Amino acid sequence: MLKRLKPNSKNLRVWQVGVLVAVFALWHVLTKPGLIPPVFFDNDRQAAFFFGEPVKIFARIVDWFFITRDIYGHLAITLAETVLAFVIGTAAGLLVGMWLALSPMAAAILDPYIKALNSMPRVILAPIFAVWFGLGVASKVALGFTLVFFIVFFNVYQGVKEVSPTVLASARMLGANRHQLLRYVYLPSAMSWVFSSLHTSVGLAFVGAVVGEYLGSARGVGYLILQAEGTFDINTVMAGILVLTACALVLDWAVGRVERRLMKWQPRTAETEKI
C-alpha cells in the first residue's frame, strides 16, 4: 500500500532554510577571491566582480537598515507604488472581469481590444506614462496597474464562466435574484480564481514600480540599484535585489493569510490516505 503523507511543517522549514543556506554558502565559495582556483574566469576576482560577494552584500543590507538607515525612505516609496498598483489593478480587474463575464454583448464588442491591449508589451508604456503623469509615484503605479490588471481580469472572467450551470439553476429555483446570484454564486466562484492570480500579481506590481524607477526617478530601491549599476557596484545591486525579493515574499505571505481567512468556506482537497 502507498500512503500519501502531509509534509511536517517543522521539517519543511528546516529543509527550506537548509537549501537557502547551501545556496549562499556555494555562492560565497565560488566568488570569494582566493578560496578556490578560477574555473570560468581568468582570475579569482572576476567572479566577485560579476556576481558579488554574499558577505559584502549582507554588510550593505545591514548598513542600509541599521547604520546609515538610507534604505527606509527609498523602500517606503517603492512599497507605496507597489501596493497602490496591486490594490487598484486587482479592484479594476475584479470589477471589469465580473462585468464582461455577465454581459456577453459587451464582452463580444470589447474582446478584440482587450486582446490587443493584453498582447502589447506593457513595459514599453513606461516612457509614455512618465510623460503623462510625470516622474513621481503616479507613473510607476500606472505601469504596475497595467501588469496586474490583465492577470486578475482574465482569472475573474474565467472564474465566472466556470460557474456550474447546475448550481445556477438550483439557485434560481430557490428564488435567488440577480444580486443574490452575484453575491452567493458568482463572487465565491471568482474569488478562488482571483487569489490564484494575486500571488503572481504581487511580483508584477514590484516589476512595474522598479522598472518605472529605472526610467526616471530620484527615490526608490530601483533608483538605488540603477545608481549602483552606473558605478559597477555589483554588491549594492545584489543587495537591492535581495531586499526587493524579501519584500515581495512578505506581501505574498500577507496575500496568503487574507486568502485563508476569506476562503474558509472552500473545502480543502481531501488527502488520499491509501491507494
Each residue's pLDDT tens digit, 124-142: 888 899 889 988 899 999 9
Q: What residues contact 174, with CB distance under 8 A and at least 6 apart?
A: none
Total domains in the chain come to 2
Q: Which is higher by pLDDT, 148 or 170?
A: 148
Cα 224 from Cα 75, distance rounded (Å): 10
Whole-angstrom CA distances from 92 to 59, 95, 100, 147, 228 are 41, 5, 12, 12, 36
Measure the N-to-C terminal CA separation of the chain; round to a whole number of Å: 6
272 within domain boundaries: no
Based on the domain organization, do 88 and 17 belong to the same domain? no
Burial of 68 (0-12, 13-18, 19+ CB in 10 A): exposed
Based on the domain organization, do 243 and 140 belong to the same domain? yes
Return the minimum-mean-pLDDT range out of 105-119, 160-174, 211-225.
Answer: 160-174
- Domain range for 18 is 7-51
168 within domain boundaries: yes
Q: What residues contact 232, with CB distance under 8 A and at least 6 apart?
A: 49
Whole-angstrom CA distances from 5 to 2, 9, 14, 271 are 10, 12, 17, 8
Based on the domain organization, do 33 and 74 belong to the same domain? no
Question: Distance from CA of residue 259 to its chain's centroid?
Answer: 15
212 within domain boundaries: yes
CATH number at residue 247: 1.10.3720.10
Based on the domain organization, do 59 and 126 belong to the same domain? yes
Mean pLDDT calculated for residue range 14-20? 89
Based on the domain organization, do 66 and 46 belong to the same domain? no
Q: What is the pLDDT of residues 93-127, one digit of tens each?
A: 989 988 898 888 998 999 999 988 888 888 888 88
pLDDT above 90: residue 275: no
Based on the domain organization, do 105 and 181 belong to the same domain? yes
274 within domain boundaries: no
Based on the domain organization, do 12 and 68 belong to the same domain? no
Based on the domain organization, do 101 and 31 belong to the same domain? no
Based on the domain organization, do 96 and 42 belong to the same domain? no
Q: What is the pLDDT of residues 182-209, one digit of tens each?
A: 777 777 777 777 777 888 888 889 888 8
Instruction: Give the chain's radius of gyration (CA, Å).
Output: 24
Cα 191 from Cα 193, distance rounded (Å): 5
The structure's pTM equals 0.81
Give me the helices (H) in the chain, please.
9-31, 46-51, 54-62, 71-102, 104-119, 126-133, 137-161, 165-173, 178-181, 187-215, 221-230, 234-262
270 within domain boundaries: no
pLDDT above 60: residue 3: no
Based on the domain organization, do 39 and 77 belong to the same domain? no
Based on the domain organization, do 130 and 39 belong to the same domain? no
257 within domain boundaries: yes
Based on the domain organization, do 185 and 108 belong to the same domain? yes
23 within domain boundaries: yes
32 within domain boundaries: yes
pLDDT of residue 87: 92
